[in-house]
Amino acid sequence: MSFVNAAFHAVPSVQSLPAYESSVDLARELRGEIDIRLDLRHAGIRQVTLRYELLGDAGLPVVLVAGGISAHRHVVASATFPENGWANALAQPGRALDPAHRRLLAIDYVGADGKLDVPLETADQADAIVQLLDALGIARLHAFVGYSYGALVGLQLAARHPDRLRRLVAVSGAHRAHPYASAWRALQRKAVALGQLQCADAQGLSLARQFAMLSYRTPEEFDERFDAAPEIINGRVRCAAEDYLDAAGAQYVARTPVNAYLRLSESIDLHRLDPARVGVPTTVVAVEGDRLVPLADSVALVEGLNAPGASGRGQLRVLRSPYGHDAFLKETDRIDNILVAALRDADRNENGVSA
Amino acid sequence: MSFVNAAFHAVPSVQSLPAYESSVDLARELRGEIDIRLDLRHAGIRQVTLRYELLGDAGLPVVLVAGGISAHRHVVASATFPENGWANALAQPGRALDPAHRRLLAIDYVGADGKLDVPLETADQADAIVQLLDALGIARLHAFVGYSYGALVGLQLAARHPDRLRRLVAVSGAHRAHPYASAWRALQRKAVALGQLQCADAQGLSLARQFAMLSYRTPEEFDERFDAAPEIINGRVRCAAEDYLDAAGAQYVARTPVNAYLRLSESIDLHRLDPARVGVPTTVVAVEGDRLVPLADSVALVEGLNAPGASGRGQLRVLRSPYGHDAFLKETDRIDNILVAALRDADRNENGVSA
């Protein structure tokens, strides 16, 4: 991948292309974007804008943190960007992702702005990240911590560009989309299509998101929160969880272009790779009760990493959580413990550079 | 409940109101309907037509077989009504529900014709069944075998009218709708509403049914059947299960009035009863992997049946099946074994009448 065509726009004002992380005094809290030419598997070469955020002093080990399809480049609140990030709790002082000790890099996924209405692959995301690392002068990530879609992208990065990361932590994501989860997402996309049929795009997207919420959470959580008897309102039964789901749908619609949702959702279903190709040490984190990624798939992934001839080696950590697929965002202490251990291993392997 | 207002239309020609089953020579294969006045919990007194089918010689022990919201009065193929029934495999010669040894009674649920656009309760269904039993001169059912919605109706019958059945077999249904399952159904109803926004009722109902199919089945089954990689068709990702789901949706739309679906779906969510009120011996059958009725709820139901002061007593049978909620329709041998044992117990308790 070349970055000859990369145009670089950093906010706040950073005038020059940064070189290798340890030698340039970049702003500690930086939001920027680069224009890249990306060779998409299903749509040929396209010019896309890749938006990123960097937080933490130059010279610290760089950890790329990548979340689900609705995550973005803003991981945690900072002085310059004070709104809460999508993984705010995990990047607090004393945590594994403490920006005082790690330099956190995150992106808006390719397609997240809704401007690219073509099929996207997780491999496309990984290739885009390599161009960003080149542009930022980051030879190799200290670690890639990926959750959900981010785990899929991390696996592709580790398979296609193993020299660009020392270690992968793949949470709630495996080497394939499970057929049942794919069916669930396909129906969500049909809800969007049904909405679009009648110029009710927002309702369709909201409904899709609400079905997705069910796949992210568990019956245990719903039982605790929504055990009240249903009401009859205007002659229709309304269940206890509906207010919550409506709010979740509306919140999502307000911040998500329909195309972004559709193309990133599809991208999960296109994801398939051979675990034996993953070329770096990998910690796979599975959540028992995850309704999208069954434990069996996480086990198969780790077994594939450790297979004779496999280029990586892996370990499996299993959580049981009432938050299911969303445990990464909710089980702060337990996820942090796992990240602490995984990043400590990465530190040890770095031969002299430690956090 | 009185049946003073019951009008009786039997097909084929049965001219007179039948009296008690053992003393009247009814046709062996009978499809009929009665008009009843039903005091609905949420809509007051309504005249409704209750359609039923009876199969098996008069004098045999009568077993009412009640299925899910899309089941109906036609349980099994017969000479007069040769199309396959919804529980065809379970009512074959040698099975527990062999019409040579049991007289099978089944109904179209109240609301199934789509003409009653009001909230319906499982208790309303139970009360309607009592009127039917009165009209048919059936003092007491030998057993009530209910699956899914039928289990809920059976529990209500056993709680409200324990003198009208000797034994209940409640498969894949409990004393309450689980909040997560209710949320899932509520979103299906929203899919219908989204379709209705602009006269795309069929698409909305089809989508609702497709989401329902996911709740009826399991990831294990989808993994076995739909493991193929998705295709890209007209620039859109199409997953392996979509053909199957589309067909299931279309099939459902062709036979289901939208109102019937909506009101019976709501009825599941309105279902709540105290297990201690169930007044007859009950076999609860739970399926591990049922995504609508968690095993914990079946356990709570049985514990409630056996509680001090409870009027019924219960036993729990647990299956593990890749068919999840639909195991009743798929695991013929295993379900039949359970029914054989449960109905044998009913025979023993009947003091002299045996099948």
Instruction: Tell whether the model's pLDDT for residue A21 goes beyond 60.
Output: no
Q: Please indicate whether, in this complex, the C-beta atoms of B183 and A272 are within 8 angstroms of each other.
A: no
Cross-chain Cβ contact A203/B195 below 8 Å: no
Q: What is the pLDDT of residue A309?
A: 86
Determine whether the interchain pair B207/A187 forms a contact, defined as Cβ–Cβ distance below 8 Å.
Answer: yes
Residues A184-201 have a mean pLDDT of 94
Residues from chain B contacting residue A214 (CB–CB below 8 Å): 180, 183-184, 187
Q: Which residues of A touch B191 (CB under 8 A)?
A: 191, 194, 207
Integer Cα distance of B292 and B179 in angstroms: 9
> What pLDDT, on the 0 to 100 scale, is given for residue B349?
67
CB nearest to B183's CB, from A181, A200, A222 = A222
Which of B197, B211, B239 lies closest to A200 in CB terms?
B197
Mutation site for B-interface testing, chosen from A189, A194, A209, A243 by largest number of B Cβ within 10 Å: A194
How far is it, in rounded angstroms, from Cα B140 to Cα A84?
Answer: 64
Q: Which of B69-78, B155-164, B343-352 has the lowest mean pLDDT?
A: B343-352
Choose, out of B234, B237, B271, the residue to mutate when testing the contact with A (most A CBs < 10 Å): B237
**B3: pLDDT strictly greater than 80:** no
Cα Rg, chain A, nearest whole Å: 20
Identify all chain A residues contacting B229, using CB atoms and an 8 Å cutoff: 270, 272
Residues of A with Cβ-Cβ distance to B185 under 8 angstroms:
239
Quick one: pLDDT at residue A198? 80
Answer whether residue A351 shows pLDDT above 80.
no
Assign B37 a pLDDT band (cuts: 50, 70, 90).
Answer: very high
Fold of B7-174+280-349: Rossmann fold (3.40.50)
- For residue B91, give the DSSP letter: G
Chain B CB contacts of A191 under 8 Å are: 191, 194, 207
As a whole-number percent, the residues of chain A with pLDDT over 70 amount to 90
Assigned CATH for A179-269:
1.10.1740.110
Contact A194 B204 (CB under 8 A): yes
Locate CATH 1.10.1740.110 in chain B. 179-269
Chain B partners within 8 Å of A200 (Cβ): 194, 197-198
**Is B235's CB within 8 Å of A207's CB?**
no
Q: What is the pLDDT of residue A349?
A: 67
Say what the pLDDT of residue B14 is. Answer: 38
A114 versus B13: the higher-pLDDT residue is A114
Q: Assign domain A7-176+272-348 to a CATH class.
A: alpha beta
CA distance A111 to chain B (A): 15
Q: Residue B15 has what pLDDT?
A: 38
A246 is catalytic: no
Q: Which has more confidence, A276 or A348?
A: A276
**What does each C-alpha distance from B39 to A60, B1, B42 come to in angstroms?**
73, 9, 9
Total CB pairs under 8 A between chain A and B: 152
Q: What is the pLDDT of residues B295-328, one digit of tens each?
A: 999 999 999 999 888 988 999 999 999 999 999 9
Q: What distances in angstroms separate CA B305 from CA A325, B73, B169, one per listed residue? A: 35, 29, 13
Nearest to A17 by CA among A2, A28, A6: A6
A322: which chain B residues are within 8 Å (Cβ-Cβ)? none
Check CB contact under 8 Å for B187 and A207: yes
DSSP string spanning A161-225? -GGGBS-EEEES--SB--HHHHHHHHHHHHHHHHHHHTT-HHHHHHHHHHHHHHHHS-HHHHHHH
* pLDDT reading at A352 higher than 90: no
pLDDT reported for residue A259: 97
User: How far is residue A303 from each of residues A174, A275, A283, A285, B228, measured CA to CA in Å?
Assistant: 12, 8, 12, 13, 21
* Pairwise CB contact (< 8 Å): A183 & B211: no
Taking the C-alpha atoms of residue A89 and residue A109, their distance in angstroms, rounded to an integer, is 21
**Catalytically annotated residue among A206, A321, A325, A326:** A325
Q: Does A353 score more than 50 pLDDT?
A: no
Task: Inspect the interface and report whether the beta carbons of B223 and A180 lie closer than 8 Å.
Answer: yes
Each residue's pLDDT tens digit, A39-66: 999 999 999 999 999 999 999 999 999 9
pLDDT score of A354 more than 60: no
Identity of the residue in B179, B230, B272 whose CB atom sits nearest the CB atom of A222: B179
Question: Poorest-confidence range of A174-183, A269-278, B198-207, B228-237?
Answer: B198-207
When scoring A197, A237, A293, A299 by the number of chain B Cβ atoms within 10 A, the one with the most, hence best to mutate, is A237
Per-residue model confidence (pLDDT) at position B200: 85
| Chain A residues within an 8 Å CB radius of B223 | 178-180
Going from the C-alpha of A173 to that of each of A9, A39, A68, B255, the distances in angstroms are 32, 24, 10, 39
Closest alpha carbon within chain A to B221: A180
pLDDT of residue A244: 98
pLDDT (0 to 100) of residue A5 = 38
pLDDT band, very low/low/confident/very high, at B30 (cuts 50, 70, 90): very high
Q: In chain A, which residues have their Cβ closer than 8 Å to the Cβ of B42? A: 232
At residue B324, the pLDDT reads 95
Mean per-residue pLDDT of chain B: 91
pLDDT above 90 (res A180): yes
pLDDT tens sequence across A194-221 = 999 888 899 999 999 999 999 999 999 9
Question: Please, where in chain A does CATH 3.40.50.1820 lie?
Answer: 7-176+272-348
In which band, very low, low, confident or very high, does the pLDDT at B10 lie, cut at 50, 70 and 90? very low
Which phi and psi (to 5°) does residue A141 adopt?
-70, 140
What burial class does residue B354 get, using C-beta atoms within 10 Å of its C-beta: 0-12 exposed, 13-18 middle, 19+ buried?
A: exposed
List where CATH 3.40.50.1820 sits in chain B.
7-174+280-349
The rounded mean pLDDT for chain A is 91
Q: Has residue A15 got a pLDDT over 80?
A: no
Q: How many CB atoms lie within 10 A of CB B309?
A: 5
CB–CB contact A182 B118 (8 Å): no
Q: Do A219 and B179 touch (CB under 8 A)?
A: yes
Residue B177 pLDDT > 90, yes or no?
Answer: yes
Q: What is the pLDDT of residue A347?
A: 77
Q: In this predicted model, what pLDDT tens digit does every residue of A290-336 receive, in sequence order?
A: 999 999 999 999 999 998 888 889 999 999 999 999 999 999 999 99
Comparing CB atoms, the residue among B182, B236, B238 nearest residue A230 is B182
pLDDT at position A345 is 78
Is the per-residue pLDDT at A355 higher than 80?
no
Nearest to A74 by CA among A107, A110, A114: A107
* pLDDT tens, residue by residue, A53-110: 999 999 999 999 999 999 999 999 999 999 999 999 999 999 999 999 999 999 999 9
Question: Got the DSSP string for B184-208?
Answer: HHHHHHHHHHHHHTTT-HHHHHHHH
Is the CB of A183 less than 8 angstroms away from the CB of B242? yes
Q: What is the pLDDT of residue B5?
A: 38
Q: Which two tokens stand for residue B165?
A: 């059945």
Cβ neighbors of B336 (< 8 A, separation 6 or more) are B90, B95, B96, B97
pLDDT per residue as tens digits for the range B235-273: 999 999 999 999 999 999 999 999 999 999 999 999 999
Q: Shortest Cα distance from B230 to chain A (angstroms)?
A: 6
Candidates A179, A235, A242; nearest CB to B241: A179
CB contact under 8 A, A266 and B210: no
What is the distance in angstroms between the Cα of A265 and the nearest Cα belonging to chain B?
Answer: 9
Return the structure tokens found at B271. Answer: 């279902």
Structure confidence at residue B346 as a pLDDT band (50, 70, 90): confident
CB contact under 8 Å between A241 and B266, yes or no, is no
End-to-end CA distance of chain A: 30
The nearest CA of chain A is from the CA of B234 a distance in Å of 10
Which residue among B119, B200, B210 sits closest to A197, beta carbon to beta carbon?
Answer: B200
| Distance in Å, alpha carbon of A62 to nearest chain B alpha carbon | 34
Asked if residue B122 lies in contact with residue B270, where contact means CB atoms within 8 angstroms, the answer is yes
Which residues of B are less than 8 Å from A226 in CB distance?
179-180, 182-183
